[in-house]
Amino acid sequence: MAFLNKEIRDGDNQDLTEERRTATFDTDKMAEVIYGSEKLARRRREISHAVSRIPELADSRPLPFLDRFEKVTEGTRKLSVLDRHLAELIDVNDNGEALHLYHEVMGMEGHPLALHEVMFVPALIGQASDEQYEKWLGRAKRREIIGCYAQTELGHGSNLRKLETTATYTPSTQEFILHTPTITALKWWPGALGKSSNYAVVVADLIIKDKSYGPHPFIVQLRDEKTHQPLPGITVGDIGPKMAFNGGDNGYLGFDNFRIPRENLLNRHSRVEADGTYVRPPHAKIGHSAMIRVRSHMATGQGWLLGHALTIAIRYSAVRIQGFLEDKSHEVKVLDYQTQQHRLFPAIARAYAFIFCGFETIRLYDQLILDMNSNGNTSGMADLHALTSGLKSVVTHFVGQGIEQARMACGGHGYSMASYISEIYGVAIGGCTYEGENMVMLLQLARYLVKSVELVKSGKANQLGPMVAYLAVADHKVNLATGPDSYVKMFQYISKRQSWKATEKFLKFMENGDSRDVAWNKTAVELTRASRLHTRLYIMETFIRRVESVTDIPVKSALTDLLNLHLNYELLDVASYALEDGFMSSNQMDFIKNQLYSSLEKIRPNAVSLVDSFQFSDMQLRSVLGRRDGHVYQNLFDWAKSSPLNKTDVLPSVTQYLKPMMEKAKL
């Protein structure tokens, strides 16, 4: 008999197989929706299969048992094996295939090429002139050189206007002199900078004839191409262990009057002529395109990270039997508890929603780069900046929460590194900080919202973009029984009210004599609330649009259940805003709660299949609890036995310290 869940195999844990038999949709078809195409979903499976047949690509030992030095070495080893097999495994021009292959083999703990692909090459694509393309891009793409993106400094990350590294132009030699004037000016944090990269895109304050022109990107050689030794005038190294990414070498970098030629300012959009004349870019923030790119990709990347943790937690919850419901002769799967479902199912809905939002922002980013590079059109930048600032903040925050709930849902075993959930958590919450600290980015979106409200107030609502048009719409009462649209209207009301209230408060402080900055700071918490609500509205609308567009009926039906859960969960979560002014009644609250509980019951039979549809291989998950076959206990025991501490029955530390202490106590 053919089952709709494609993960069923002979010999698997029976409880998990039982779950898979109840799937109401085809998991291969759901994967097509998750990955955006039948081809990519299929190619992912084929690539995972091909990788599993190359033993050298496997981790040589479970990663949690490796120390930092071993992790870096292991990552670099696998990278070099992968390099030999690249062309046979993937179409190297297909980003989706490449991304999957790297996630599969390299995992998420970092490696020497992590920033090369994610920021260095994209910075060249977005910022280099045609001549610079010719000179650098081919070499970078062939990986003759390895690069990173060095912007953040020891003293400044968020406030780019105060970066201290200087790039001073000297017309007599037509060079820039890069210099690190203080300890706080050291570049600090860039991924793959410490030990791996021999080139970097360095963001430094451009100075011409004693005048500062603000942060600009330069391509800089850091190490000798043959010996890999740092060049004279360069101080570079690793910043030490971190919460996660310990297979990566985030680094520090200092310059001692280090000279680079004039052509090394990435000059597609702005340039310095030989005599020192500065030619401005068409948009002041155009040099930030590499950051906008990563922010645009973060919602899908983070959605997949949440998907990892949920695959582990849901599969384990179907295998873990503990406690009773009605029948006191049989314990039940912990997945049958309403609290367990409430802990995990809304996060499944969010993971799907975030992935769908990410597809939209990636498309918008690609369009922006096309417009900028073909005709210098930067009109989409402000909107995309506002959107991705909010989205990266809201998504990373909820993903962190969702992963932590997944860990707790696995009880004691969730706390073991065998679950791998703590590693996923560490990686994901890095996203709350990198590419713009979340509060800072929420305040960026708030600027956009406040400006939009001000437009409405001054009678220029017709100038509002489609994403904020609701800020001008009249309020209306909503009957919640009428489907997704009514939830959107309710959310629009809440979001609009918060944006208006925060704006009015901000303006009032100014009317009362506060400067703009002080008034802004006094309103900042309310402003971030407005940004979160606006972003959650966007996520909700995108989720609805995506589900509406699905053509496979069983897949659409399963997604509709998830969507309904999402709508009710989200509205309940922000209900206090609607209760504040009596917009929502307590009867409506009860209605929403009941809808939510019935969504949990509807989703229950499909829970395992919804996470199976992410189609993460065991290699990719690296989790004993999340194994596809569900054989958790024997493998947990084997995993524990492989701990280096178990190599001998008596540890040297016991002989040396513990025993003498115990012996002394006996005297």
Ligand X SMILES: CCCCCCCC/C=C\CCCCCCC/C=C/C(=O)SCCNC(=O)CCNC(=O)[C@H](O)C(C)(C)COP(=O)(O)OP(=O)(O)OC[C@H]1O[C@@H](n2cnc3c(N)ncnc32)[C@H](O)[C@@H]1OP(=O)(O)O
Q: Which does 78 bind (CB under 5 to 8 A by kind): ligand FAD, ligand X, none?
A: none
Residue 191 binds to ligand X (criterion: CB under 6 A): yes
Helix or strand or coil: residue 443? helix
Residue 530 binds to ligand X (criterion: CB under 6 A): no
Taking alpha carbons only, the member of 207, 202, 244, 242 closest to residue 222 is 202
Nearer to ligand FAD, 79 or 600 (CB): 79
Residue 288 binds to ligand X (criterion: CB under 6 A): yes
What's the CA gap between 90 and 44, in Å, rounded? 10
Which structure tokens are listed for 239? 């910043």
Q: How far is the CB of 381 from ligand X (least distance, A)?
A: 4
Of 35, 149, 487, 614, the one binding ligand FAD (CB under 6 A) is: 149
Q: Is 191 annotated as a binding residue?
A: yes
Radius of gyration of the chain, Cα coordinates, nearest whole angstrom: 27
- Only one residue has tokens 């300012």, namely 265
Q: How far is the CB of 666 from ligand X (least distance, A)?
A: 54
- Restricted to residues 438-457, the positions that interact with ligand FAD (CB under 6 A) are 439-440, 443
Q: Establish whether 435 is a catalytic residue.
A: yes
Contacts of 205 (CB under 8 A, 6+ apart): 163, 164, 165, 166, 167, 212, 213, 214, 215, 216
Contacts of 544 (CB under 8 A, 6+ apart): 484, 488, 563
Q: How far is the CB of 242 from ligand FAD (least distance, A)?
A: 6
Annotate each residue in 91-130 with x if it binds ligand FAD (CB under 6 A) or - if it does not, as one string: ------------------------x---------------
Nearer to ligand FAD, 140 or 610 (CB): 140
Nearer to ligand FAD, 433 or 560 (CB): 433
Annotate each residue in 17-56 with x if it binds ligand X (CB under 6 A) or - if it does not, as one string: ----------------------------------------
User: Of the ranges 27-35, 391-399, 428-436, 458-466, which one interacts with ligand X (CB under 6 A)?
Assistant: 428-436
User: Of the ranges 336-344, 371-379, 428-436, 592-600, which one interacts with ligand FAD (CB under 6 A)?
Assistant: 428-436
Q: Report CA 553 to chain centroid distance, whole Å.
A: 30
Residue 118 binds to ligand X (criterion: CB under 6 A): yes
Of 291, 372, 456, 533, the one binding ligand X (CB under 6 A) is: 291
Taking alpha carbons only, the member of 566, 621, 574, 617 closest to residue 596 is 566
Q: Is the dihedral of CA 421, 574, 395, 482 positive or negative?
A: positive
Q: How far is the CB of 191 from ligand X (least distance, A)?
A: 5
- Restricted to residues 151-190, the positions that interact with ligand X (CB under 6 A) are 151-152, 157-161
Residue of 109, 164, 435, 570 marked active site: 435
Length of the chain: 667
Q: Considering CB under 6 A, how many residues would be counted as binding ligand X? A: 30
Q: Is 152 annotated as a binding residue?
A: yes
Q: How far is the CB of 112 from ligand X (least distance, A)?
A: 13
Q: Which does 118 bind (CB under 5 to 8 A by kind): ligand FAD, ligand X, none?
A: ligand X
Taking alpha carbons only, the member of 596, 556, 560, 457 closest to residue 29 is 556
Residue 194 binds to ligand FAD (criterion: CB under 6 A): no
What's the CA gap between 589 and 592, in Å, rounded? 5
User: Of the ranges 149-157, 207-215, 362-370, 627-635, which one interacts with ligand FAD (CB under 6 A)?
Assistant: 149-157
Annotate each residue in 369-388 with x if it binds ligand X (CB under 6 A) or - if it does not, as one string: ------------xx--x---
User: Of the ranges 297-305, 383-391, 437-445, 548-556, which one interacts with ligand FAD (CB under 6 A)?
Assistant: 437-445
What's the CA gap between 306 and 308, in Å, rounded? 5
H helices within 512-612, ranges in order? 516-522, 524-548, 553-573, 575-580, 586-603, 607-612
Annotate each residue in 388-427 with x if it binds ligand X (CB under 6 A) or - if it does not, as one string: ----------------------------------------
What's the CA gap between 168 and 421, in Å, rounded? 47
Containing 187, the helix (H) or strand (E) segment is strand 187-188
- Restricted to residues 597-656, the positions that interact with ligand X (CB under 6 A) are none
What's the CA gap between 13 and 656, in Å, rounded? 45
Residue 150 binds to ligand FAD (criterion: CB under 6 A): yes
User: Of the ranges 14-22, 57-65, 150-158, 170-178, which one interacts with ligand X (CB under 6 A)?
Assistant: 150-158
Q: What is the DSSP string of 451-464?
A: HHHHHHHTT-GGG-
Contacts of 451 (CB under 8 A, 6+ apart): none
Residue 136 binds to ligand FAD (criterion: CB under 6 A): no
For residues 467 and 516, is the Cβ–Cβ distance under 8 A? no
Residue 189 binds to ligand FAD (criterion: CB under 6 A): yes
For residues 560 and 487, is the Cβ–Cβ distance under 8 A? no
For residues 625 and 413, is the Cβ–Cβ distance under 8 A? yes
Q: What is the DSSP string of 522-551?
A: HTHHHHHHHHHHHHHHHHHHHHHHHHHT--
Cα torsion for 528, 531, 535, 540, to the nearest 10°?
90
Helix or strand or coil: residue 267? coil
Cα angle 542, 544, 547 (rounded to 5 degrees) comes to 105
- Only one residue has tokens 């407005």, namely 530
Q: Which does 294 bind (CB under 5 to 8 A by kind): ligand FAD, ligand X, none?
A: ligand X
User: Of the ranges 140-148, 432-440, 453-461, 622-630, which one interacts with ligand X (CB under 6 A)?
Assistant: 432-440
Residue 204 binds to ligand X (criterion: CB under 6 A): no
Nearer to ligand X, 318 or 386 (CB): 386
- Only one residue has tokens 């509002």, namely 464
Residue 173 binds to ligand FAD (criterion: CB under 6 A): no
What's the CA gap between 444 and 525, in Å, rounded? 13
- Give the DSSP letter of residue 137: I
Nearer to ligand FAD, 184 or 463 (CB): 184
For residues 110 and 75, is the Cβ–Cβ distance under 8 A? yes
Of 13, 17, 132, 152, the one binding ligand FAD (CB under 6 A) is: 152
Q: Which does 447 bind (CB under 5 to 8 A by kind): ligand X, ligand FAD, none?
A: ligand X
Residue 434 binds to ligand X (criterion: CB under 6 A): yes
Q: Which does 150 bind (CB under 5 to 8 A by kind): ligand X, ligand FAD, none?
A: ligand FAD
Q: What are phi and psi of 663, to 5 degrees?
A: -65, -40
Q: What are phi and psi of 355, to 5 degrees?
A: -60, -45
- Which residues would be at the binding site for ligand FAD (CB under 6 A)? 115, 149-152, 156-158, 189-191, 245, 250, 430, 433-434, 436-437, 439-440, 443
The catalytic residues are: 435
- Which residues would be at the binding site for ligand X (CB under 6 A)? 95, 99, 118, 149, 151-152, 157-161, 191, 285, 288, 291-292, 294, 297-298, 301-302, 381-382, 385, 434-436, 440, 444, 447
Q: Which residues belong to the annotated binding site for FAD?
A: 152, 191
